[in-house]
Amino acid sequence: ARLGAEMRAGLDRGEFHLVYQPIVELPHGRVASVESLIRWRHPVRGHVGPDRFIPVAERNGLIVELGEWILRTACAQYMTWLRDGVAPDRIGVNVSARQLAEPGFVDLVAAVLAETGMDPGHLIVEVTETAVFGGGAAVRTVHDLTALGVDIALDDFGTGHSSLGLLQTLPVSILKVDKSFVDNVTMAGRHAVIATSLIQVAHGLGLVAVAEGVETAEQAAELYRLGYRRAQGYHFGRPAEAPANAGYGRHRA
Ligand code: G
Ligand code: G
Ligand code: MN
Ligand code: NA
């Protein structure tokens, strides 16, 4: 309860900020998009990770207001990059289960796009398998977002319920293959087998697969050999604050 109350105050005091991590094209490394990730600098506790406070915000409902702030901030930053001529093609925003099931969520997205003047084609909403597994409101939201022209990415794929059936019925266009499969991709074994089958499933269904958590050149090379054309991870760039005037697009090789 304490952390929840402190989040409420922290939001008012501007203690939250977003960082952005590039998603690159393999093999050359051109930045295709960025993912926004939230950070909290607590005046006393120091850095508190989203793994800790997002679940709290989901439980106490603050995720609705926090999520709105995240979406607005990310879209506004994207438009700044666009005006400066340095925007990547797209920006991804993580959306949690409760936000996705919230009745007003699609209207909020439409309002933020209108307010910022952002074309829906530049926005990717990242959802987890678990958030959409039960069907219901979250699944309807995914359909409605797609109808708006927003793309959906299935995040952390392979770690949740991992229903391949979801891929058949949900209008998803990006599959983010979880870091756990990428970690050991250079060694013959179970992880490599799964990383290999997931790229085949993705391409067979006409989806873009993104390998997450790539930390070494060896992993990147092996992923490319397996057919991956998009990757994200410390090897290419850590999540970082938006430079005042520069985005990612044309400044990078
Ligand atoms: O950035 P980091 O790896 O610490 O994130 C840890 C977890 O928190 C990840 O699962 C990530 O998806 C989640 N997360 C980070 N930023 C956001 C955000 O803006 N919204 C939501 N809902 N989750 C986020
Ligand atoms: O939204 P998602 O659950 O995919 O969150 C991605 C998380 O993974 C973020 O918290 C980000 O900081 C983290 N991350 C991104 N790249 C790497 C990496 O190469 N290694 C590790 N350990 N974490 C990473
Ligand atoms: Mn994500
Ligand atoms: Na992920």
**ipTM summary value:** 0.97
Task: Name all domains of the chain by residue range, CATH numbers in brackets.
Answer: 2-232 (3.20.20.450)
Q: Are strands 90-94 and 31-42 parallel, antiparallel or unpaired?
A: parallel
Q: Which residues of the chain have pLDDT under 50?
A: 245, 250-253
pTM exceeding 0.80: yes
Q: How far is CA 169 from CA 132, 156, 210, 212, in A?
A: 11, 18, 20, 24
Q: Is 215 in the pocket of ligand 2 (CB under 6 A)?
A: yes
CA distance 72 to 111: 10
Burial bucket for residue 111 (CB in 10 Å: 0-12, 13-18, 19+): middle
Q: Is the peptide bond before 243 cis (omega within 30 degrees of 0)?
A: no
pLDDT tens for residues 153-195? Answer: 999 898 877 678 888 889 999 999 999 999 999 998 888 899 9
Per-residue model confidence (pLDDT) at position 135:
81
Tell whether ligand 2 has an atom less than 6 A from the beta carbon of residue 213: yes
Tokens representing 46? 């120091």
Asked whether 183 lines ligand 2 (CB < 6 A), one says no
Residue 247: the pLDDT is 60
C-beta of 37 in contact with ligand 1 (< 6 A)? yes
Q: From the CA of 157, how far away is ligand 4's center (Å)?
A: 7
Helix H or strand E encompassing 19: strand 16-25
The pLDDT assigned to 124 comes to: 98
Residue nearest to ligand 2 atom 10, measured at CA:
37
DSSP assignments along 99-131, one per residue: HHHSTTHHHHHHHHHHHHT--GGGEEEEEEHHH
Of the listed ligands, the closest to the CA of 92 is 3
Ligand 1 pocket residue status of 51, Cβ below 6 Å? yes
What is the reported pLDDT for 253?
A: 37
* Strand partners of residue 31: 24
Q: CB-based burial of residue 133 (10 Å sphere; 0-12 exposed, 13-18 middle, 19+ buried)?
A: middle
Q: Which atom of ligand 1 lies closest to the CA of 126?
A: 12
Crossing angle of helices 63-83 and 2-12, rounded to 10°: 30
